[in-house]
A = this chain, B = another copy of it.
Amino acid sequence: MPQVSQRGAAMPMSPYRKLTPYADAAKARGIHVYHLNIGQPDIETPAAVLAAVQQADIRVLEYSHGAGNLSYRQKLASYYQRNHIDVTPDDLIVTTGGSEAILFALLSCLNPGDEVIVPEPYYGAYTAFAIAAGVHLVPVLSHIETGFALPPIADLEARVTERTKAVLICNPNNPTGYVYTRAELEQLLAFCQRHQLFLLSDEAYREFCYDAPYVSALHLGPAAEAHVVLLDTISKRYSACGARIGALVTKNPQVHDAAFRFAQMRISPPGLAQLLGEAAAELPDSYFDHTKAEYQARRDRMVARLREMPGVQCPVPGGAFYVMPHLPIDDSERFARWLLEAFQHEGGTVMLSPATGFYATPGGGRQEVRLAYVLNLAAIDRAMDCLAEALRVYPGRQH
């Protein structure tokens, strides 16, 4: 029998998938599982946006332009302009979710064997994209004590080699919720300029900054333009994860040209969902007021509840919809499984993401978990009741 590739075997199994059988079994026992483990918003997709697809007059569902329909790119460019990101339709490549933007950026900017520096913890799928693109992620540790702020630039400097080609950040951050300051982004840009590196900036959660104005890597002025590649998606900002519409945005014409060639390979991004994206790009900025207020209230509640729990350390995340606390536990994977297999409180339990899935450094994340606040306030309260009780009785509690 022919053998599959080593990279196929090396691809990480989704941590979510590892826990799913235990969650299913808990539900089969009649236990309510509070899903704090996934970044799937519960907020409704705007009806006007869905209606744009559902009322469209389509005779033949044709391939679109390889970079996405011009009409969509025009409206998307306007959206970025409103966010003070000065781009034209020619600077945009519409992608199949943020995922494809990540893949195209790695393929376009790095050769096989090249290295990309990434603050750790980081979005787990970056590991998978790096394997697919044949490049190496070089993690630089950030720390809960600083709220997962950018590590000192000296720590990044120490990891630079001949093969270093890029820095990859997620801002606001998944999984930590940290929002980079303008000063941090300027330090990063200077670092990239010193070493001729690309700055790949995943800004999927741009709209969800609660304590300070959002700063994009493309807010850093003309000096940033040769370096910055924005990786974006409509998934989170319009609760439209299933659409699979994102964008690669760059003012660097060589990167744009290379990425466009990869885009032509798959002919076009999804057509129906581009109609949705086009309608979404026309939503007024006021659309975000309600959503952002709702997420902020949830964040405040979740952080407050976590801080009441003995032994829990919880920074206040400035953005996205994740909290990443330190818990007084032996092992976050064991704890996550125990919650589903062996625990219940008033008929409920919690499904969470062990933070080990966000670290490459061995041992990283063993006492941290990621909690997504994608449930309403009442459900968050009940989930926090469960978690507090679980921490009280968990056999692997650390003192």
Q: Considering the chains assembled together, what is the distance between the CA atoms of A239 and B258 in angstroms? A: 29
Taking A244-B266, A244-B269 as given, write out 8 further A-B residue pairs in contact, using a Cβ cutoff of 8 Å, ordered by the A residue number: A5-B107, A50-B58, A54-B56, A61-B239, A125-B265, A128-B265, A132-B265, A241-B268
Copy number of this protein in the oligomer? 2
The answer to the question of A160 belonging to the interface, with a C-beta cut-off of 8 Å to chain B, is no
Instruction: Please give the number of chain A residues whose Cβ is less than 8 angstroms from any Cβ of chain B in the complex.
Output: 83
In the complex, what's the smallest C-beta–C-beta distance from A122 to chain B, in angstroms?
14
The answer to the question of A259 belonging to the interface, with a C-beta cut-off of 8 Å to chain B, is yes
- Looking at A95-103, A173-181, A296-304, A357-365, the stretch in contact with chain B turns out to be A95-103
Are A11 and B61 within 8 A (Cβ)? no
Contact of A261 among B11, B109, B276 (CB under 8 A): B11
Q: Considering the chains assembled together, what is the distance between the CA atoms of A204 and B221 in angstroms? A: 47
The answer to the question of A129 belonging to the interface, with a C-beta cut-off of 8 Å to chain B, is yes
Are A264 and B128 within 8 A (Cβ)? yes
The answer to the question of A81 belonging to the interface, with a C-beta cut-off of 8 Å to chain B, is no
Chain B residues lying within 8 Å of A103, measured Cβ to Cβ, are 266
Q: Considering the chains assembled together, what is the distance between the CA atoms of A265 and B103 in angstroms? A: 10
- A4, A64, A134, A264, most chain B CB atoms within 10 A: A4
Q: Considering the chains assembled together, what is the distance between the CA atoms of A44 and B57 in angstroms? A: 12
| 1/0 contact string of A264-297 vs chain B (CB within 8 Å) | 1111111111001000000000000000000000
Q: With contacts A62-B241, A63-B242, A239-B60 known, is A109 near B265, CB below 8 A? A: no
Are B6 and A128 within 8 A (Cβ)? no
In the complex, what's the smallest C-beta–C-beta distance from A228 to chain B, in angstroms?
10
The answer to the question of A111 belonging to the interface, with a C-beta cut-off of 8 Å to chain B, is yes
Are B61 and A50 within 8 A (Cβ)? yes
The answer to the question of A395 belonging to the interface, with a C-beta cut-off of 8 Å to chain B, is no
- Looking at A12-20, A23-31, A138-146, A320-328, the stretch in contact with chain B turns out to be A12-20
